[in-house]
Amino acid sequence: MNVGIDKISFFVPPYYVDMTDLALARGVDPNKFHIGIGQDKMAVNKKTQDIVTFAANATKNILTDEDKALINMVIVGTESGIDESKASAVVLHRLMGIQSFARAFEVKEACYAGTAALQYAVAHIKNHPESKVLVVASDIAKYGLASGGEPTQGAGAVAMLVSADPRILQLNDDSVALTQDIYDFWRPVGHDYPMVDGQLSNETYIQAFQKVWEEYRSRYKKSISDFQALAFHIPYTKMGKKALLAALEEESPEEQERILTKYEASIMYSRQVGNLYTGSLYLGLISLLENGQLNAGEQIGLFSYGSGTVAEFFSGRLVDGYQNQLLTNLHRAQLDNRTVLSIAEYEELFNDILDTDVNSDYEDELPYSIASISNTVRAYKEN
């Protein structure tokens, strides 16, 4: 049975910081951010926008009434949860008007959680081919003002509808996952920002890619030439490239150029957004599909990485007519129509934290946003 991604869309908040401005404010050469890290803009959100509003704003782009009647599972992958107990997927299920007889839950393993959700959705559809699963990866990546990780922040969500006979990407039954108990990046309960060993996280990412890629190649007898493109988890756009370059060392110059050209297509959107954590691989996939000039039938390899760490390499095949399912114009307009913030405005937003212990009403221009807090409960504005 063919199972995979039938629809896909993303949402990022409508404000950003220009990385030249951030570099100058931090006394850093702008080339370090633009070239060394590979980021041009960084998405920033207001306190009235959280992982639920990102998820709702991304999901509303893809669901029809028929989808809402057929979805019987909603999974949110996140590491920016707003409650230790209740899942954001339950709220999303209501906001989207999905039929009641459905499961809704959240999954966690750093940036890998979106892939965990996707693989679980695929397994579910194999048992229940008549149903559909909504998978959303939604996060706010915040490391702190003037911290080492600051230029790798970002925010937003990717929503995917998973079904039988998908119209975009049919996932192959050939994944290799790897779990290693390593503290490269983690966020203890009660901490607003993650603890991160930046260099260890870079090294572990590259090693994890090499391990799953080697295992995948030997298990499935495949090589780079079997793929038209590889998409990576993108904490910053230089990261995937570092892992890729290591894997391409023994390939011919033509083969290297072929794969690196597609890699550039996969990072176009992330360069303007930053790290979405769970959504980053899938923002990269959207960017690749919308800018990579791929043909139906071609194979794409996907590398998912979550600190802590879990990594997975898996693959998919592009379906005939997949281009008709893409929301390219909407996505490009969303990125183009954002407001640039000065560094003072960004720092003010950054420090303006939502206090859920204080009852209050809020105004926000987004279709879905936090309208009020009452008894610690977030009420959402629904358009």
**Active-site residue list:** 79, 111, 233
Task: Assess 350 for contact with ligand HMG (CB under 6 A).
Answer: no
**Using CB under 6 A, which residues numbered 75 to 134 contact ligand HMG?**
79, 110-111
- Amino acid letter for position 137: A
Stretch that binds ligand HMG, among 70-78, 85-93, 196-204, 224-232 (CB under 6 A): 196-204
The least distance separating ligand HMG from the CB of residue 279, rounded to whole angstroms, comes to 11
Task: Assess 282 for contact with ligand HMG (CB under 6 A).
Answer: no
Spatial neighbors of 254 by CB under 8 A, at least 6 apart, are: none
**Cα–Cα distance for residue pair 75/184, rounded to 1 Å:** 26
- Total residues belonging to the chain: 383
- Amino acid letter for position 287: S
Q: Which two tokens stand for residue 231?
A: 């998409």
Coil, helix or strand for 286? helix
Which one, 37 or 285, has the nearer CB to ligand HMG?
37
**Cα–Cα distance for residue pair 326/353, rounded to 1 Å:** 35
Stretch that binds ligand HMG, among 29-37, 165-173, 213-221, 266-274 (CB under 6 A): 29-37
Residue with the closest Cβ to ligand HMG? Answer: 36
Q: What is the β-pairing status of strands 154-164 and 229-232?
A: unpaired
Nearest to 126 by CA among 164, 88, 91: 164
The least distance separating ligand HMG from the CB of residue 36, rounded to whole angstroms, comes to 2
Among 205, 213, 227, 303, binds ligand HMG (CB under 6 A): 205
**Cα–Cα distance for residue pair 220/213, rounded to 1 Å:** 10
Task: Assess 138 for contact with ligand HMG (CB under 6 A).
Answer: no
Task: Assess 202 for contact with ligand HMG (CB under 6 A).
Answer: yes
Q: How many residues of this chain bind ligand HMG (CB under 6 A)?
A: 28
Classify burial at 284, counting beta carbons within 10 Å of its beta carbon; exposed 0-12, middle 13-18, buried 19 or more. buried
The least distance separating ligand HMG from the CB of residue 366, rounded to whole angstroms, comes to 25
Binding site for ligand HMG (CB under 6 A): 29, 31-32, 35-37, 79, 110-111, 148-149, 151-152, 185, 196, 198, 201-202, 205, 233, 235-236, 239, 275, 277, 305-307
